[in-house]
Structure 1
Amino acid sequence: MKTILAQIFTWWNGQNLNTRFDTWRHGNKVGTDEIGNVYYEGGKDYEGNPRRWVIYKGYSEASAVPPGWHGWLHHRTDTPPTSDDYKPREWEKSHIPNLTGTPGAYRPKGSVLSTQERPRVTGDYDAWTPGS
């Protein structure tokens, strides 16, 4: 359980106090994913669609939402992944977390942090010189 100060002053660390209160008043729990994020639905948005949101387990990281839940959150489907009727599309990939800032991050050839050597210039490039 987070401290009351963390709930008042942070939005990136799970849910804040206002979100907790709004979820308590209007939220109907729809399900939980394998990571531990909890999904809710309740009320209507400005277009009349059901309002949907996620309470992240730990830090609020949008890339931590699996594909099936992402589709449900963004009204691409009305069937949540916890439903018996849910069938993932054949092109949906399994969830991969955002690896930015970790040793597993993408580093192309030539990157300062990459161990691979940058490809050599082939001669089809003319360097810019001032005044030309």
Structure 2
Amino acid sequence: MKSLLLQIFTWWNSQTLGTRFHTWRKGQRVGEDEFGNVYYQGGTDSEGRTRRWVIYNGYAEASAIPAGWHGWMHHRVDTPPSDENYKPREWQKPFQPNLTGTPYAYRPKGSIANLGERPKVTGDYDAWSPGS
């Protein structure tokens, strides 16, 4: 019951009722990634291409789509990673959640959140003052 109420009133929990209905009506399961996200296709979009969508395992976090599936979702490739032996390139980084608001967030030198001292201004900067 709780899951159904979350799907009715929130869009960030897995799928909405509209997505569930569209998946039931026209969806053809294409595959699943290592995070448990399930990918579908079916029907056509406004440009006449096959419509593709994902039902997230948990929160709807677009950056959690691996590189191979991202290419398929955005019509960069026609073959989904589940139909081929897809190996990510060495420069493709694995998913990392948004760390903002956590102890692991990026805090550059001089930030109020960083306890270090602000770096000194170099000689190539002249502060603006009125009348100059």
d(CA) in 2 for partners of 1:84 and 1:104?
36
Identical-pair percentage: 70
Does structure 2 retain, via aligned residues, the 8 Å contact 1:32–1:39? yes
- 1:2–1:25: structure 2 CA closer, same or farther, 3 Å change rule? farther
> What are structure 2's unaligned runs of at least 5 residues?
none
Query: When the two structures are superposed, what TM-score results if normalisation uses the length of structure 2?
Result: 0.86
d(CA) in 2 for partners of 1:39 and 1:69?
8
Offset, 1:3: 3.1
Q: Which amino acid aligns with 1:9?
A: F
d(CA) in 2 for partners of 1:10 and 1:60?
10
Offset, 1:86: 3.3
Query: When the two structures are superposed, what TM-score results if normalisation uses the length of structure 1?
Result: 0.86
Query: Alpha carbon RMSD of aligned pairs, Å?
Result: 1.9
Counting matched residue pairs gives: 132
Report SS of the residue matched to 1:43.
strand
Offset, 1:45: 0.9
Aligned to 1:69: 69
Could you give the per-residue CA deviations for residues 12-59 of structure 1, whole angstroms, max 9, x where no partner exists? Answer: 111111111111111111111111111111111111111111111111
Query: Any residues of structure 2 matched to 1:1-132 within 5 Å, and which?
Result: 2-132=2-132
